[in-house]
Structure 1
């Protein structure tokens, strides 16, 4: 059982309800244990406590009216200084100081009350600086003078206690100064910053008057204290009837009129505190009436001259000019004083035209000045030889010979005519307008000729007029099919030897019906490619014809030419060649027909032999081509592959020196096409000469050269050698010191002299070595048994130290020997002398 203690604060809602329902959940120590819940109702009777007031607090005297809260139970009424309507408090009604406020409410015990204190704090006294004025040209003003210091300035244009003129703009701006005291009470005051704009002035637009005035002028000003009109040059240039009136009358002087203009200024002065005046000017220009002179009369011979330059025209005091005509011609620039007039055909028919110059006035003048001049037009000859023409060299004029052309020309206003030619042709009558021209030989060579018709004028015109016609002489087509040719069967033929001149189009065909059956890649071009048909090949030839069609106007004229194409058989080409091992020459068997031969062996080498052989520098597969040519020029090529096999790679290995008792397994390194065959030679001392790794030895002393031949699956062989050295065995005869024996009895002193000797590191046996005495013992009683190696001392051998030398030699290598010394110690016999007692006893 656990006791749980907690604190619960009663709310206004609890007081209104009269009770509180507490809900408790208890959890056990074991997290898997189920929680236990329970509820308990607690009554909250009115009167516990009966009435509760809010805590004492302070407010500033200038705060707004607010609602009082915190009194319990709810629904009561507040009383005291500054209380409005029993629920609100207005500091302004209470005055500065402490005020006891009563809260009265109905409880279970009746009407009860409590009190609390509201302290109304005095607001700080705040004063602002005086209103100020600044000119808009002042960038900024640091704001000071607010009291008490430490407050904050705000308003239009205020940035961090600085008034920025550009941000505020012209006009009056209300600025506030706000101060908060240590009690948090706030007060504020206002002052005005007036931004005075700079003056503006407009004297009005420039004026142009026709005459000498006077002139009414009006200006526009603003933001000014006063203004005045002035004239540049002073009164000598003119006077105002009132120079301080915004609209006034200006009367120019003679000097101004002679100058032609006068400059008027309007000066405005700013309002304080701005100091800089402003000025605007206007120009009055005095304009004279325009004058104009179109120039003197003139005449031209048309079309020798189609233009008339009005160079002696003049004008003055005008704003613009305009030329006009009674005809239909045109001016190059009708607004120019001295334009060029181009006459029209209608002007020529009329024979004259009146040209008028109008000079328009400069405002305010309104009447233009007008002047006119007459231009007389006389026609010159006109002539037209006809349109340029292309004629066929075989064309004929009506009733004339071939190679002539009938001319059709036009002419007017002439006294006489004359035809001429740039070539060597002739005219039937060169003075006639329409005559016949006969083409000359030089004309034919040149291909063109220019014919000129000259018309001589009628006075007053003096210059003759010419017109030309260009005759282009189109030659008839000329074609050449090219020379006869021979090609090999199986080839196509490009007709590159053909040519054509003056042909608008071409056409290739068979010269004789039913003769050709081949095909063209394009029979309408000059150099087509022809592929013979089977009939052509059987026949052995075909006859081809080239047709050329003439250009217009020779469209009805053609030219033809033929050529014969023959066909020769090509040789049969083939050969045989078989794979070889690298290092072996390849034999090539030519199976082709007779001719000349050119072999390409595929490695940059060639041959012209019929059946060549070739040795390749490296293994591989080579593409070999044989070209056979015959005396007709025909040839054919046959290509085939020949393979040069790689040889096996063989390393027979290297081996240490052996003794006659050793053997070793050979370890060659071999690669190549499998399966491989092996052959070791000589086979002596080898376990199996036809395996890869046979065993060699034991073998007698000597140097053995072994050759390994490896043959791969392609039959290609390679060899490698190795040398095996069989050397002498290491033989060591060590000295022996026998076990001492007494000479009286004798005995064995060394069981076997070979026991401490070595042959190839091991004790030898008499089956491997021969045992002989080199230096005999110094006493005959010392005996070495050569069959056993035993050394004995015969009985009755005198005491002493005896030596002899023996030798062991390898049976298989009798010259491989070593000697050893045997030392035998013979001791004297033990003598025991026993005392004798001859006293005896009976």
Structure 2
């Protein structure tokens, strides 16, 4: 909108103003697309002023508004000072464009370590003039890495000087009246936590030839963003419901990481470091930190064992959690079976008439002296040797004789079983032969 006031003519004398009013040119200045003008005129017999009205202009480019008013007197009147019968008013005109920049955080806040942090910058033009060469700048937070951005118009007549780029933002845009461009910026949050991504400001700068009637919205700032560690959860492992046989040993937990998670995904040795914090009370129960297995070595005493391990995020070593592993080790199943031998000749007796271990078992396998301890309770003519063999003394009267013994697991000495060996001794066969003597 442009307005002009022209106090341009004075007139003295007692004349009929309806007949003798000066002729005022109504020519609009060069460079105007359109004009609505209203002129009002007033005069008095003595000293009068002619005052022009105002005009509204569709101004879309810079220029100069000049308006000249000239007073022409009737031919029979002379003006002793004709040099002031014309006056010109000139005003420089500049483009006006109400440019607004709005920056918002479009990713989560707080952000997780190593996650993508995204901003959106919208630059819009409320007019009244279209404008080009608007510079958009944004020095992005130093805490972000791998920064990239894209720029695209959201309306016809607007454009970006570059469609994409990396690092800090510095580009120009053209904006139609009512038009806008959108710039999307993304970067990677720091891995080390806790951390804070600093506040950040996007700015626009108009060309010198363009005036912004509302420059207060030429900058836009987003607040700081806290960066938190990725959720790391180490869950306890309880394998006590499925004991491992202590005699043979075995794998108690295939992988302690199987129920652990990092940022919602199963933790792996590629994403976390695994370490032992508190070992089990027996070295036979061990954690293999190279694969997550918890194993029980052969000949491990029966008991319930616990150990504690720690996992730490590889990319953020201070982000850690611990968990407890519970392992049950069972004793061997010992079965001592009764033994029977005989009948045998009590007169001669016998050596190794039976071996009491021959039908005994440990965890379903043969009982061997390397796994068990044999304790006999000898009785009468029977002797149970340390090897398990049974001897019968010579000249043993006919009869049935018994002896007891006990076998105990060496790893778990209280894990025992007992049995009875029974030997039948028969009387020696006596053959009395008649004797004959000569005459």
TM-score after normalising by structure 2? 0.48
RCO greater where, 1 or 2, for CA within 8 Å and sep 6 or more? Answer: 2
TM-score normalised to the size of structure 1?
A: 0.27
- Of structures 1 and 2, the larger Rg is shown by 1
